[in-house]
A and B are shown apart, each in its own frame.
Chain A
Amino acid sequence: AQTVTQSQPEMSVQEAETVTLSCTYDTSENNYYLFWYKQPPSRQMILVIRQEAYKQQNATENRFSVNFQKAAKSFSLKISDSQLGDTAMYFCASRGSQGNLIFGKGTKLSVKP
């Protein structure tokens, strides 16, 4: 069975600073994808970034980047130049051959002015 663990229930960062959210996962599958989702207080879940497990290059989307360590089964999210609008719950998730997402418990990120 797949599991996803986020060990940081809450984090805070000053505006314009950089923050890293941690995630570890476990899976027996060879072909899988990893995701970071953002859920702002409005509750709409939004995809932030995704990583294909067979790609060694870390994914990057503007201010968001990941550090994917396949052997360690680690998938952290780095947010650079944090903005107030980044305040949200962040969920790490994995998806295997069945297609459904397996989510971590989430990290509540607060960006302070």
Chain B
Amino acid sequence: KAGVTQTPRYLIKTRGQQVTLSCSPISGHRSVSWYQQTPGQGLQFLFEYFSETQRNKGNFPGRFSGRQFSNSRSEMNVSTLELGDSALYLCASSLAVLTAYNEQFFGPGTRLTVL
């Protein structure tokens, strides 16, 4: 079974632009979560989608948004990019809606650099 895939793997943008990252979960998984990883802040939860609905959201500004399609693939969008948005963005999928128990499987990440 293929793992979680993320595209693109690397991305360079300039301040003020917007970017869309894509995540394809493991086949059969219906929950997709997004995390931002930076050297300063570490790993922080962005949001979770389940059955095309945002179920949970972390403490990020409205410039960060996401969506999930009927095939469970998810995209996240960052508008009006800032230098501080440079990070590794990790996607994780889970079989069912996230609870304390369900295991998440992570993708390789998309490295976003904002110049």
Per-position 1/0 for B95-113, Cβ under 8 A of A = 0011111111111110000
Task: Choose one: A31, A37, A45, A104; the contact of B100 (CB below 8 Å).
Answer: A31
Note all chain A residues with C-beta closer than 8 A to B56.
Answer: 98-100
- Could you tell me if B42 and A105 are in contact, using CB atoms closer than 8 angstroms? yes
Q: A43-B109, A100-B58 are in contact. Are A95 and B100 (CB under 8 A)?
A: yes
Task: Choose one: B55, B88, B100; the contact of A33 (CB below 8 Å).
Answer: B100
Q: How long is the Cα–Cα vector from A101 to B97 in the complex, in angstroms? A: 13
Q: A45-B90, A95-B100 are in contact. Are A100 and B106 (CB under 8 A)?
A: no
Give the interface size class of chain B: 20 to 34
- Could you tell me if B42 and A106 are in contact, using CB atoms closer than 8 angstroms? yes
B-contacting residues, A91-113, CB 8 Å:
91, 93, 95-106
The verdict on B72 contacting chain A, using a C-beta distance below 8 Å, is no
Note all chain A residues with C-beta closer than 8 A to B43.
Answer: 91, 93, 101, 103, 106
Q: A101-B35, A105-B42 are in contact. Are A44 and B106 (CB under 8 A)?
A: yes
B-contacting residues, A50-71, CB 8 Å:
50, 52
Note all chain B residues with C-beta closer than 8 A to A100.
Answer: 33, 45, 48, 56, 58, 98
Chain A residue at minimal CB-CB distance from B97: A99
Note all chain B residues with C-beta closer than 8 A to A45.
Answer: 90, 92, 106
Note all chain B residues with C-beta closer than 8 A to A11.
Answer: none
Please give the residue numbers on chain B whose beta carbons come within 8 Å of chain A beta carbons, in ascending order.
33, 35, 42-45, 48, 55-56, 58, 88, 90, 92, 97-109
> 4 shortest A-B CB distances, which residue pairs?
A99-B98, A45-B106, A103-B43, A100-B45
